[in-house]
Amino acid sequence: MIVEDIPQVGRLFYKIFRKKAVNSPDTFNDYFEKLFFGSPIYDPQYGSFVHETASGTISSAVSAIPMQYMVEGEIITARLLCAFMTDPDVSCLGAAELALTMRPRHQDLCFTDSASPVSANHFRAVSGAILPLHGLEWCRVFQPAAYLAQSAAKRSSLARYGARLPLARPLDYLTRRVMPALHIEGDPVMHDEEMSQDLFVTSVQDFLPDYKVRPVWSKPELNWILEVARLNTGDGSLHIRSVWDYNAELTGCFVYFGRAGSIAQVLNIFAKKGKEHAVINQMMYHLDQSGFVAAQGRVQPAQLDVFSRHRAMFYRHRAHVCVSTRHKSVTDAIQRNDIFIGGLAGESWSRLVTDFF
């Protein structure tokens, strides 16, 4: 894919994902260029793909963001696959040919954390790996009535009107009085505070050394990801919070989108080994005290045991997480759930997920 392809790809995006046969607006095209061509580590060989018909029309496309990964001490450039789109009114040959480029023998590492069942089937067909635990979403409810109202509002106009009525607050007040499980008890020796982007960028690798396959997140690359993520305001502003213990030691941090009174969308939770419970509990306490009706985010298998000890939690399938690689060390890491994917190492910070409807 080259920059000049964006208007055609944008029209295809709107046709497939927004069910609109329209040209993509300039705001979309500008953002698309920034997202898929703007990374400081961008190189065409790690970029997006298109398939053209004999007439030169783009019939299929796979958008991709390059991301550096550490694999057993070696740095490689991975490809985060985002939207996989093919025109249903044109031969499916283009989609098949693009899928074949994802075969493991062609890839150091490519992955997606937002695959549909059809895309997951393409990965299976070319011998890619599916990571079922990474595809789960956890949800912790703080205010049940408000949460149900907001969830229903996404599905109907009548529910959206009902969600604006001040009915949930008294119901939640009563519910929280009779259901202690909804409360989060803060730890008096822990506290959280706003974290500067500079501190986050320089500290985050301290929380990842146990992963054999993990993002490098160099200063230029991670700053760029955060800069683009801040453009995505559909779920509220981007927040980075640090967690400290009584010795003033940084024990972890968490990143989320949200505004008070909404559902917080947690991107990542980072914690020192052995401190996962303290960091996750402090995050839950902060979000509850800040007025969020619930919090949700993608499962990291290493944190699943800690989440299982929290009450008022439930889990559901969010999307398929798929990986293709020619490196045995990566496939071995996948078998051990020893690979870090999701959040900032995924697609959920992109405006394409929540915007341009």
- The string of pLDDT tens digits covering residues 240-285 is 999 999 999 999 999 999 999 999 999 999 999 999 999 999 999 9
Does one domain contain both 130 and 140?
Answer: no
Q: How far is CA 209 from the centre of its chain?
A: 21
Q: Which amino acid is at 71?
A: V
Question: Quick one: 179 and 123 in the same domain?
Answer: no
* pLDDT reported for residue 156: 64
Domain boundary residue among 134, 165, 197? 134
The residue written with tokens 């020619």 in the block is 326
The answer on 152 and 53 residing in a single domain is: no
- Per-residue pLDDT at 167: 65
CATH number of the domain that residue 54 is part of: 3.40.630.30
- Residue showing tokens 């509002």: 153
Contacting residues for 78 by C-beta, under 8 A, at least 6 apart: 46, 66, 67, 68, 69, 108, 109, 110, 111
Domain assignment present for 95 = yes
Domain co-membership, 222 together with 306 = yes
- Per-residue pLDDT reduced to its tens digit, 333-356: 999 999 999 999 999 999 999 888
C-alpha triplet 139, 143, 145: angle, nearest 5°: 105
The size of the chain, in residues, is 357
Same domain flag for 56 and 115: yes
Q: Is residue 347 part of a domain?
A: no
Q: Is residue 324 part of a domain?
A: no
> Residue 255's pLDDT is what?
98
**To the nearest 10°, the Cα dihedral for 22, 26, 29, 34?**
-160
Q: Is the same domain home to 50 and 163?
A: no
Determine contact, residues 220/40, Cβ cutoff 8 Å.
Answer: yes
Distance CA 87, CA 95 (A): 9
Domain membership of residue 333 (yes or no) is: no
**CA–CA gap between residue 120 and residue 48 (Å, rounded):** 18
Domains: count for the chain: 2
* 326 within some domain: no
pTM for the full predicted model: 0.93
Task: Give me Rg for the CA atoms of the chain.
Answer: 21
Burial class (CB in 10 A: 0-12, 13-18, 19+), 104: buried
Furthest CA-CA distance within the chain: 67
- Give bridge partners of residue 315 from the DSSP assignment: 138
- Residue 85 falls within a domain, yes or no? yes
Q: Could you tell me if 100 and 156 lie in one domain?
A: no
255 and 274 fall within a common domain: yes
At 346 the three-state DSSP class reads coil
Q: Of the residues 119, 134, 149, which one is the last residue of a structural domain?
A: 134
- CA–CA distance, 339 with 138 (Å, rounded to integer): 19
Pick from 134, 163, 182: which residue ends a domain? 134
Q: Are 179 and 306 in contact (CB under 8 A)?
A: no
pLDDT at residue 33, as a whole number: 98
- Residue-number span of the structural domain to which 121 is assigned: 3-134
Return the closest-CA partner of residue 150 out of 140, 160, 141, 158: 160
Judge whether 201 and 253 are in contact, CB under 8 Å: no
Phi–psi pair at 121, nearest 5 degrees: -65, -35
Asked if 164 and 120 sit in the same domain, the reply is no
Q: Token pair of 18, please? A: 């927004």
Residues 152 and 269 in one domain: yes
Residue 278: how many other CB atoms lie within 10 Å: 19
Instruction: Count CA atoms closer than 13 A to 208's CA, side-chain side.
Output: 23
| Residue spans of the chain under pLDDT 70 | 155-167
**What does the block give as tokens for 69?**
């990964």
Cβ distance 182 to 312 under 8 Å?
A: yes
Give the amino acid at 286. Answer: H
Is 344 in contact with 39 (CB distance < 8 Å)?
A: no
Residue identified by tokens 């295809």 is: 12
**Assigned domain for 7 exists:** yes
Whether 175 and 258 share a structural domain? yes
Q: Does any domain span residue 243? A: yes
Same-domain status, 57 and 124: yes
What pLDDT is stored for residue 324 in this prediction? 95
